[in-house]
A and B are shown apart, each in its own frame.
Chain A
Amino acid sequence: MEKTVFVKLRHRVQVKPEAVVTIGDVAQIIANDLNIAEQLKAVPLYKIQPSDKNIVIIDVMKVVRAMTERDDALDVQVIGPAQTIVEVVEQKRRFSTAYFLLIWLLLFVGSAMAIMNFHEDVSMQEVHQHLYEMITGKKIAKPLLLQIPYSLGLGIGMILFFNHVFRKRINEEPSPLEVEMFNYQQSLDQYVILYENKESMRKIDDD
């Protein structure tokens, strides 16, 4: 009983290329005997190969095997996720300002064109002329008094939706953008957990 070890894998860890991944990198470990925990944390699990590219999945079984090989009297209790996603991060590439400006301009011009096409598509000019007539009883070709506040409102509405003005002032709930990024990352993680982990699927011709 005194050799019980609790293991909880981390969800996602980042390592450098060619690094040796140890148990301590991918898992939290609790043991009654602190020495055992420290020793186990230093046990190497896997050396990152250049052929691994960006993602390596470490299955919990690999961790348990490495532990029991070291000391077969251990009682390993696994808690939490069944695998860890190891992300191989190369040197953070610096992002050039010109490149960023290009993307900025692309989005800027693109969204300007998109809104113009949208206005034409729904004949908004006519709708605004009707609206002007509805309120004042007069017909004019360019109801700018309506259209300029409308244009400013467009930007305000978008920013409001993504909650960047009131970021932490109104509340601390994540913005839709943050939730969307989280969902996307979650789907990607699930995909790599299934398809990059050789242990999780078995085909007929595998032996």
Chain B
Amino acid sequence: MTTIEMLTVIFIGFAGGLAVGTGFVAFLVVLGIIPRLTQLTKTTERIHAYEWSAVAGAVAGGWMSLRHTVFYISKYWLIPLGLLHGVFIGMLAAALTEVLNVWPILAKRIGVADKIVILLMAIAFGKIVGSLFHWIYFADYLR
């Protein structure tokens, strides 16, 4: 590999990473999960630490998935990992339904503004049941 080729590859890789990284940050910012978490926990002054945790997580995840890192540790580490993973995706899904302004329109059109919490529960339980169904039965069916 000549120096020119190497520099080109480095440049392309760096440019690609930069584009994906900015896109990822934009996505997080649009959904507003970090501000929401700081608002819930009243830790607005630590928001920079949260930024760094998102950046570090993205870099670590990227590195590990590209390099196929293996830890060889107990499988029970997967339980807290799975829980955190689920909470994050759940917040993403909630933020998406909110960004799409589904709720206010639903409440106005159907006239159920006072019962909206129960409907929210319908969506949350639907997610749980759908997801369990997918992993336990549907995954077998697909293969």
The answer to whether B107 and A181 have CB atoms under 8 Å apart is: yes
The answer to whether B40 and A145 have CB atoms under 8 Å apart is: no
Interface presence of B3 (CB below 8 A): no
In the bound assembly, the distance between CA atoms of A109 and B135 in angstroms comes to 16
Minimum distance in angstroms from B118 CB to a CB of chain A: 7
Minimum distance in angstroms from A159 CB to a CB of chain B: 6
Interface presence of A135 (CB below 8 A): yes
The answer to whether A116 and B133 have CB atoms under 8 Å apart is: yes
**Size of B's binding interface in residues, CB under 8 A:** 74
The answer to whether B122 and A107 have CB atoms under 8 Å apart is: yes
Closest to A167 in B: B117
Q: Indicate whether A151 sits within 8 Å of B40 (C-beta atoms), given known contacts A108-B123, A132-B78.
A: no
The answer to whether B83 and A134 have CB atoms under 8 Å apart is: no
Contacts of B70 in A (CB 8 A): 133-134, 137
Closest to B116 in A: A177
Contacts of B90 in A (CB 8 A): 153-161
Closest to B138 in A: A116
Please encode chain A, from 52 to 84, with 1 for each CB lying within 8 Å of some chain B CB and 0 for all others.
Answer: 000000000000000000000000000000000
In the bound assembly, the distance between CA atoms of A181 and B105 in angstroms comes to 8
The answer to whether A147 and B82 have CB atoms under 8 Å apart is: yes
Cβ contact of B79, chosen from A103, A137, A149, A166, cutoff 8 A: A149
Interface presence of B20 (CB below 8 A): no
The answer to whether B116 and A158 have CB atoms under 8 Å apart is: no
Contacts of A46 in B (CB 8 A): none
Closest to A136 in B: B75
Interface presence of B128 (CB below 8 A): yes
Cβ contact of A156, chosen from B86, B92, B116, cutoff 8 A: B86
Q: Indicate whether A115 sits within 8 Å of B73 (C-beta atoms), given known contacts A130-B65, A143-B78, A144-B136.
A: no
Interface presence of A184 (CB below 8 A): yes
Cβ contact of A154, chosen from B107, B118, B127, cutoff 8 A: B127
Chain B residues engaging chain A, CB cutoff 8 angstroms: 32-33, 36, 39-42, 64-65, 68-95, 98, 101, 103-105, 107-108, 110-113, 115-120, 122-136, 138-140, 142-143
Q: List 19 A-B contacts (CB under 8 A).
A: A104-B118, A108-B123, A108-B126, A111-B122, A125-B142, A146-B78, A146-B82, A147-B82, A149-B81, A153-B88, A154-B86, A154-B93, A155-B124, A157-B86, A157-B89, A158-B124, A159-B90, A177-B116, A184-B101
In addition to A103-B112, A147-B82, 6 A-B residue pairs with Cβ atoms within 8 Å of each other are A108-B125, A154-B93, A158-B124, A160-B87, A176-B95, A181-B107
Nearest 5 interchain pairs by C-beta: A153-B86, A157-B90, A112-B130, A111-B126, A184-B104
